[in-house]
Structure 1
Amino acid sequence: MANDYFFCGVGGSGMLPLAMIVQAQGNRIAGSDRSRDQGRTPEKFAWLEAHGVTLHPQDGSGVTRPEQIVVATGAVEDTVPDIGAARRAGARIVTRPELLSQLFNAAPTSIGVAGTSGKSTITGMIAWMLHRASRAPTVMNGAVMKNFADADHPFASALVGGPDLFVSEVDESDGSIARYDPTVAVVSNISLDHKSMEELRDLFGGFTARARTAVLNLDNPETAALAQRMVETGRGDAVLTFALGNDAADLAAHDLEPLATGIRFELAERASGARRPVTLAVPGAHNVANALAALAAVRALDVPLDEAVAALETFAGIRRRMETVGAANGVAVIDDFAHNPDKIAATLKTLHAFDGRLLVLFQPHGFGPLKLMKREFIEGFAGLLRPDDVLLMPEPVYYGGTTDRSVSSGDIAEGVRAAGRQAEALPTREACGDRLVELARPGDRIVIMGARDDTLSTFAADLLARLG
């Protein structure tokens, strides 16, 4: 029987794909979004309406009936008008993690992709390999998968397949990873991000313990320790490992060779002793690690390795993952989702494989992460920026509320300058854009970094137009 769902924040990167999957199951979808009310990303909301989603202002006016199921992003607070309206109407309220985990756990076979970094890319790689292998996966990603994007599906962060196989990113930042019972649990890496290391060890340990097969990275100390614990507790046969340059791993990569359009490496499979060349169309050693994780995941579902590699070599990437927007007057503009120290490091290392000064605009995704990872942000930028690179930072994304704002972009920039690198904090993103145009010269690469703000891509495109 069809249900009526109301998604609060329906245009969000996590909500939109979930709404599409729920709609494909025969349910009716409505929703609201603060971005729509503010006139941001109108093309996204026009697309949603064209695909049968009824949109309302985020003022509670769309929630009027007890039979509606209201989906909230995370914290369910009565101060959100739609939530208050749901309580008054007697409508059922579920959080996004609750709904997604219910769909995930209902599938007979599932792959959960977790870790501090790489989740969206690994999920996209797995989706493409399973799709090409005719496994008809249903996939929930937090970012647009280019292989599935076309004129009718510009926001292809979900793939609607059959009911028997569900692939999803799994988030540890809100603790919701504890809700998922995967057939295959992939953990790319574990490092400080939103929670303490002790909390993270407990969450990821439980996640892998509930899986039939765990795919773990031997290059990361925390995931390597997780693999070792599984061996010590008699579950060694349930572990598939991957690593760069380490033949102790079930899948290893050797002889990495950066290319202008991607990266080439030699894949070694421990079980068969076979080695074969692989060429990815996405750059960076981190994407080689992502590819190994994805290959191990589909191998756990018995996809032949040759078939998986052939599909992987045609993987086109994920939107806003080191995505080249274009070039004008000898200056390239790159749009990138990097927002924590690990992701930032991966991007800077990859871009520094080729010549050219980097002009980096980093928009933090909140004051909380700046305070939690102040030292890691400063050390990361100071250690990886070259002397002629320039870091520019506006203040973090801030939508109001009682967030602790004691650590600002200025504190990060000051620390980076104290370490001998060029960094400036400016009051607004627009001011940073003006400064980038002023600084840019032929041969430079401008990198727009940040998360949780769809307008960053628009900003990058507008910046390219100004450079031209």
Structure 2
Amino acid sequence: MTFKGINKVYFLGIGGIGMSALARWFRHEGYPVAGYDKTPSPLTEELEKEGMMISFQDSTVEIPFDFTTNPDEVLVVWTPAIPKESVLLNFFQAHYPLKKRSEVLGMITKEYHTIAVAGTHGKTSTSALVAHLLKSAGKPVAAFLGGITQNYNSNLILPGKSKEPTLVVVEADEFDRSFLRLFPNEAVVTSADPDHLDIYGDESSILDGFRDFVKLLDKKGKLYIQSHAWYRMGEGLDIPAAIREYGLRSSGIHADNIIAKPGIFLFDYMGLKVQIKGLELHIPGFHNVENALAAIAIAVDHGVTEEQVRAGVKSFRGVKRRFEIHSSVPGHIYIDDYAHHPEEIKACLSSVRAMYPTQRLTVVFQPHLFSRTRDFAAGFSESLSLADEVVLLDIYPAREKPIEGVNSAMLLDGIHTGKKIMMEKAKVMDYLKESQPEVLVTMGAGDIDRLVPGIAAWMNSRTKPDEA
């Protein structure tokens, strides 16, 4: 399928982070765009301001009239997050051309030189930094991201006018094997840990999924792969693309002289042919230094100079909800992170410990998905034990229905900290005011983000920076 003959686009689940990036792209390309989502959000408000028509009722009455007169000219894009019993989904399936988000993104990547960033964690920050390094160096780049960048305040980055061909940067999502619909010229694999076992079944199957993804590269392609992911995937893997291994302690591309400071990590980039010393990364975390290695390697391979890399790394402000520091006053530190997998939690809390080694660390964590909580319960408990105090919220179900016997409380016994408690989300703010945390981290991929503005305002009100 091509976009020929399509003159309108409707999105089922338009408020999703991946869906909204596509909606913005079609709007930029001149298509009338409409859509449905379950509830309003700051993101849907932004889309409406950009000229998109959005309804929040699962009813065919809400479809704009212009989108009903000639169904063959309307492309309907949907996400598996829409329930099968949805009135709109069943109506569109019967009467309209219907494509999954991943299929449409694949159609776009087929038309451009594409850099696809995959990984069970790290792909949002890495893809955002790849796009930023290229764009800040003047390269024409379009990027479809899984988060809102702080530099551009959007999940879509658009190319400026240039005589050079546009480069496309996309997140390659392993969920539902979506990344197998892409057409990458270059690929990154930031990690390949077990996840989405409700889809893949077991660890070996998800590794096979990542192997199938990198096999999409041809002999002109390049694969940038993190050392542990390469160790897990590499056995028996035969691809024609050039392989560039990277990692904090990799024998290939690696980092030297890493110094963790509050709000900043300093490091040296040690590439295969290029070394760039004294880089300043203002999105802290050892994992972010590792993500930066891949992004820098790609930028260098596309002709970005040492000084452009240095400036781009220093000016990158990260992605909202990815190790986002809301308060940096000593004794009143507040960081919010999207971590929802044991390895992500471990990476986040290890970095926080390095930055604030002597201060009491409190974590408020909302597990995401019943199946993920069940499958990785021991790992969650072990990672959360890096904190001094753990506050557990109820599981955010997302697309799932409850599983008997699976709840947040099952993590408590395995958490070895001075204090660990269960709590309703509505009581968190009062609890924090009573406990007065020194370093606070909120984590999760559900609706815990609704707490962030209030917590941030309170933490910043406790003292003024010039009093620290």
Fold equivalence (TM over 0.5): yes
- Pairing partner for 1:378 from 381, 399, 402: 381
- Quote how far apart the aligned CAs of 1:296 are: 1.9
Q: Distance in 2 between matches of 1:82 and 1:62?
A: 9
Call closer, same or farther: CA 1:329–1:252 in 2, change over 3 Å: closer
Amino acid across the alignment from 1:101: G
- Quote how far apart the aligned CAs of 1:185 are: 0.7
Superposed, which structure 2 residues align to 1:20-31 within 5 Å?
A: 20-31=24-35
Call closer, same or farther: CA 1:2–1:23 in 2, change over 3 Å: farther
Q: Residue 424 of structure 1: SS of its match in structure 2?
A: strand
CA-to-partner distance for each residue in 1:5-38, whole Å, 9 max, x for gaps?
A: 11112112121111101211221110111122xx
* Aligned twin of 1:153: none
CA-to-partner distance for each residue in 1:108-133, whole Å, 9 max, x for gaps?
A: x1000011111111011101111022
* Aligned twin of 1:360: 363
* Aligned twin of 2:439: 445
- Quote how far apart the aligned CAs of 1:96 are: 1.2
Q: Residue 365 of structure 1: SS of its match in structure 2?
A: coil
* Aligned twin of 2:215: 209
* 8 Å contact from structure 2 (residues 192, 232) kept in 1: no
CA-to-partner distance for each residue in 1:152-211, whole Å, 9 max, x for gaps?
A: xxxx01112277321011111221121122111100111112132211211111221222
* Aligned twin of 1:182: 184
Call closer, same or farther: CA 1:420–1:332 in 2, change over 3 Å: closer
* 8 Å contact from structure 2 (residues 195, 206) kept in 1: no
Q: Residue 270 of structure 2: SS of its match in structure 1?
A: strand
Q: Distance in 1 between matches of 2:276 and 2:332?
A: 39
Q: Distance in 2 between matches of 1:95 and 1:400?
A: 16
Residue 198, structure 1, aligned to residue 199, structure 2: no
TM-score, with structure 2 as normaliser: 0.87
Q: Residue 244 of structure 1: SS of its match in structure 2?
A: coil
Q: Distance in 2 between matches of 1:192 and 1:165?
A: 30
CA-to-partner distance for each residue in 1:133-152, whole Å, 9 max, x for gaps?
A: 22211101111111112xxx
Q: Distance in 2 between matches of 1:228 and 1:243?
A: 18
Q: Percent identity?
A: 26
- Quote how far apart the aligned CAs of 1:450 are: 0.9
Question: What's the Cα RMSD here?
Answer: 2.3
* 8 Å contact from structure 1 (residues 181, 210) kept in 2: yes
- Quote how far apart the aligned CAs of 1:327 are: 6.3
- Quote how far apart the aligned CAs of 1:305 are: 4.4
Structure 2: gaps (5+ residues): 462-468
Superposed, which structure 2 residues align to 1:335-346 within 5 Å?
A: 335-346=336-347
Runs (4+) off by over 4 Å: 75-78, 227-230, 327-330
* Aligned twin of 1:62: 62
- Pairing partner for 2:109 from 98, 101, 104: 104
Q: Distance in 1 between matches of 2:404 and 2:319?
A: 32
Call closer, same or farther: CA 1:87–1:205 in 2, change over 3 Å: closer
Call closer, same or farther: CA 1:371–1:179 in 2, change over 3 Å: same
Residue 411, structure 1, aligned to residue 407, structure 2: no
Q: Residue 381 of structure 2: SS of its match in structure 1?
A: helix
* 8 Å contact from structure 2 (residues 271, 297) kept in 1: no
Q: Distance in 2 between matches of 1:135 and 1:5?
A: 29
* Aligned twin of 1:158: 156
* 8 Å contact from structure 1 (residues 117, 189) kept in 2: yes
* 8 Å contact from structure 2 (residues 331, 359) kept in 1: no
CA-to-partner distance for each residue in 1:204-255, whole Å, 9 max, x for gaps?
A: 112212221100112x1x323545655xx474x7011212234x20x21111
